Amino acid sequence: MPSFDAIIIGAGPNGLAAAHRLASKGQKVLVVEAAGTPGGGAGLSHLSYNLDPRAEKAMGLAAHGLEWLTTNLATTALCADGNHLRLEGPVGLRLSGDIAERDRRGWETLRARLLRFAAVLSPLNQFAPPRIAKGVGNPMGKLAMVALRARMLGAKDIRELGRIILTNVHDLLDDELSDPRLKGALAFDATLGGWLGPRSPNSVLPWLVRLSGQTAGKQGALGLPRGGMAALGAAMARSSEAQGVTLRCNARVARIVVDGERAIGVTLASGEEIRAARIVSCTAPKTTLLDLVGPRHLDAGLTTRARHQKSRGGAAKLDLTLKALPDFRGANLRDRLILSGSEHDVERAFNPVKYGRVPDRPGLEIVIPTSRDPRSDSKHHLSAIAQFAPHAPADREAARAQMLAACLMQLETHSPGIGALVESAELLMPYDIEDRYGLPGGQWHAGELSVEQMLFLRPLPGIAQYQGPIPGLWLASAGCHPGGGVSGSAGWNAALAMEAAE
Partner 1 sequence: MIAQQSTLRHYETPLLKTHFHPRTEALNKLWSWGNWGGYTTVVSFDDVAMEHSAIRNSASVYDLCPMIKYRIEGPDAADYLNRLTIRDASKLSVGGVHYTAWVNDAGHLLDDGTLFRLASDRYRICCQERHLPWLLDSAHGFDVAITEETEDIAALSLQGPTSAEILRRAGFDIDGLKPFRMAEFPLGKGHLMISRTGFTGDLGYELWTSPDQALALWDLLFDAGRLHGLRPIGSDALNIARLEAGFIITGYDFTPADICVREDRLRSPLEMGLGWLIDWKKGHFTGKAALKRQHERGSDWSFVGIEIDGNVPADGAILYHDQKHEAGVITGACWSPVLKKNIALAQVRTKYAKAENLWAEIYALRELHYAKMMMRARLVERPFFAPDRRRATPPGRF
Return the number of other C-beta atoms located less than 10 Å from residue 131's C-beta.
15
Pick between residue 362 and residue 440 the one whose CB is nearest to partner 1. Answer: 440
Among residues 64 and 255, whose Cβ is nearest to partner 1? 255
Neighbour-count burial of 152, counting CB atoms closer than 10 A to its CB (0-12 exposed, 13-18 middle, 19+ buried): exposed
**Taking the complex as a whole, how short is the minimal distance between the CB of residue 62 and partner 1, in angstroms?**
44
Nearer to partner 1, 369 or 440 (CB): 440
- Residues shown for the chain: 502
Contacts of 140 (CB under 8 A, 6+ apart): none
58 or 290, CB closer to partner 1? 290
Q: In angstroms, what is the minimal distance from the CB of 258 to partner 1?
A: 8
27, 8 contact by CB (below 8 A): no
Q: Which is nearer to partner 1, 299 or 426 (CB)?
A: 299
Closest to partner 1 by CB, 104 vs 297, is 297
What is the smallest separation between the CB atom of 311 and partner 1, expressed in angstroms?
16
CB of 401 to partner 1, least distance (A): 34
Give the 3-state secondary structure percentages of the chain, helix then strand then coil, rounded to 5. 40, 20, 40
Least spacing, CB of residue 303 vs partner 1, in Å: 6
Sheet holding 380-387, edge to edge: 94-97, 85-88, 75-77, 336-339, 363-367, 380-387, 315-322, 422-428
Taking a C-beta distance cutoff of 8 angstroms, is the pair 17, 59 a contact?
yes
Which of 194, 215, 202, 218 is CA-nearest to residue 168?
Answer: 202
CB of residue 304 to partner 1, shortest distance in Å: 4
Q: Are residues 220 and 214 in contact, defined by beta-carbon separation less than 8 angstroms? A: yes
Q: Which is nearer to partner 1, 305 or 361 (CB)?
A: 305
Q: How far is the CB of 460 from partner 1 (least distance, A)?
A: 11
- Binding stretches for partner 1 (CB under 8 A): 258, 261, 290, 294-304, 307, 462, 469-470
| 158/146 Cα distance (integer angstroms) | 13
